[in-house]
Structure 1
Amino acid sequence: MTPYDDLPVDLLGEIAATGLDPRAVHDLVLRALEEDLPGGAEDATSAATIPAGATGTADIGARRPGTVAGLGIAALVFHVVAGDAVQVTGRVPDGTRVGPGDPVLTVVGPLRGLLTAERTALNLACHLSGVATATAAWVDALDGTSARVLDTRKTLPGLRALQKYAVRCGGGVNHRFGLADMAMVKDNHVIAAGGVVPALEAVRAAYPGLPVEVEVTDLDQLRALLDAGCERILLDNMSTATMTEAVAIRNRHPRGGAATLEASGGLTIERAREVAETGVDFISVGALTHSVVVLDLGLDLREDAGGSG
């Protein structure tokens, strides 16, 4: 496996420019490959069927419509497996919308290496493209409104940074990354603190300057938080009519101009526009990451594969 310092500098820089940590991505790729090649084992099928030194070209293409993400990470997988013997060409930018049959990445190099890397590269690219595709569908549903779609912390363990990157590729907005960069007061915190305002004040006292959002389940809680100058309020599992009233209360309130409202809880894409038209600022959707369907991408060798290099 190719060590980090021997990977293409331009590819690592490109990954860093997305907001991802290229060293962390490299480590993730190594762990993923270890599942297929424990202890440095070799790909038995490729070693048995492909002559040493055989080279060729493979294309990754879309099997159905969607929005791609993670193609730079897929390219990294090929480089980790086969080093500088690999050349990645014809890669479309992450965030591109594609149709069935559209090529998204072409890779040239040793056939054993290409097929050894194939599944790990596709696992990552298919999953992240699925996240981007789901996000893009919500973005389309909200088109023409002022609402933006947010992700959540309902991510697969170890993949949060990649999944949140894929949400951005689909046109969505990232919510907090973890438990320390923003306080999120939920119903259990409210119970423990003795109310929404005491919970808000407790966070402000303990972590001055930290962004804080408070969940409400009724309009009385909303009014109390607006009186307290809360700037981020989550409307949990409210009906469309109640959310409409919540927006009106916010808009009339003398301190409401600084407050953003986020709709959350049991929302479906079929209701997306209806909810957005209430005037909420954000709609948070856990399904973007916790139950997404992959975008089907496949790798196919060209017929002239098998030459010697």
Structure 2
Amino acid sequence: MLLTELERFVEEDIGYDDVSCNIIPDCRVNAEVIAKEFGIVAGLAEATQIFEYFEVFPATDFQDGDMVKENDIILSLDGGSRSILRAERLALNFLGRMSGIATITREYVERAGGPRIAGTRKTTPGFRKFEKKAIAAGGGDPHRYNLSDAVMIKDNHIAVIGLEKAIIAAKRAASFTQKIEVEVETVDDAVLAAKMGVDIIMFDNMTVKEIQRAVKTLEEKGLRNNITLEASGGISIENVDKYASTTVDVISIGALTHSSNWLDISLRINPDIQEGTL
């Protein structure tokens, strides 16, 4: 992360009068960051950067995307006791949040067994790039990072201008480097979008049977092969395999970021190996 970002996070967490860390002697200690449950680890680079900012020296045998189990030592730390305590919560917040996203993403990937599992822009303001990175660590696709990455024609665009006019306007305005994606809710709109040469069709809040019928219609009309098909809306870990069976290429799921649990991770200082006051 940028130094300016890191220092903003540090300022938020430490504040201006850190009494609790100052009441202990600033001695050199060893500590361990420990997984308290099974999951997929992510955020190691960010946690490492945080500890190093406080002149704490971390070591690890893991990398983002690795599986960890209960009591695994994710990071071993060597540094000043006060510095470790000041870095602790911020580093664990990154690890817990990002590992939780990576873990649920891996669950979806394994349950789907074929199509890409992608995120959405339903992310925490100011933390999007880290949440997208965590999706990738879990084996998913981050999808677009912002509105400029691709042209997406959504239902509200269509409500204002209509589907056909929206596609024409998008093709006129978009760079040759930008793909054009259209949300559709009916088979007829999917066929129209495909005929007009969009790159991606998203089946928005359509049932499995509706998507199957749309895919079959596109195949029968010779429109399937040159287009990416995406399903989104109403998809959960319980039914993602059913949506995968429709043969769409991508399944995008906002729950990867807005509803993921944090992975339970803690830090433990070993009081038996202090090496004197710094």
| TM-score over 0.5 (shorter chain) | yes
Alignment of 1:11-50 (within 5 A): 22-23=1-2, 26-39=3-16, 41=17, 43-49=18-24
For structure 1, the 5+ residue unaligned runs are 1-21
Alpha-carbon separation, structure 2, partners of 1:36 and 1:192: 44
Counterpart for residue 206 of structure 1: 173
Q: Is the 8 A contact 1:151 1:173 kept in 2?
A: yes
* Paired amino acid for 2:43: G
Structure 1 ranges of 4+ moved more than 3 A: none
Sequence identity (%): 36
Q: Is the 8 A contact 2:181 2:202 kept in 1?
A: yes
Counterpart for residue 234 of structure 1: 202
Count of residue pairs the alignment pairs up: 276
CA drift of 1:116 comes to 1.1
Q: State which of 26, 45, 48 in structure 2 corresponds to 1:75.
A: 48
CA drift of 1:91 comes to 4.3
Query: 1:215 and 2:190 equivalent?
Result: no
Q: Is the 8 A contact 1:132 1:170 kept in 2?
A: yes
Counterpart for residue 8 of structure 1: none
Counterpart for residue 135 of structure 1: 105
- Larger helix share, 1 or 2: 1
Q: Deviations over 1:172-229 (max 9, x none)?
A: 01211111121111111011112x2221111111124221100000001011112112
Query: 1:148 and 2:121 equivalent?
Result: no
Query: 1:197 and 2:198 equivalent?
Result: no
What CA RMSD, in Å, does the superposition of the two structures yield over aligned residues? 1.4
Give me the TM-score of the superposition, normalised by structure 2.
0.95
Alignment of 1:81-92 (within 5 A): 81=54, 83=55, 86-92=56-62
Counterpart for residue 75 of structure 2: 105
Give me the TM-score of the superposition, normalised by structure 1.
0.86
Q: Is the 8 A contact 1:91 1:106 kept in 2?
A: no
Counterpart for residue 165 of structure 1: 133
Counterpart for residue 32 of structure 2: 59
For structure 2, the 5+ residue unaligned runs are none
Q: Deviations over 1:31-68 (max 9, x none)?
A: 121123224x4x3122112x13x111111111111101
Task: Provide closer, same or farther for how the CA distance between residues 198 and 62 of structure 1 changes in structure 2, counting only shifts above 3 A.
Answer: same
Q: Is the 8 A contact 2:215 2:224 kept in 1?
A: no
Alpha-carbon separation, structure 2, partners of 1:200 and 1:249: 21
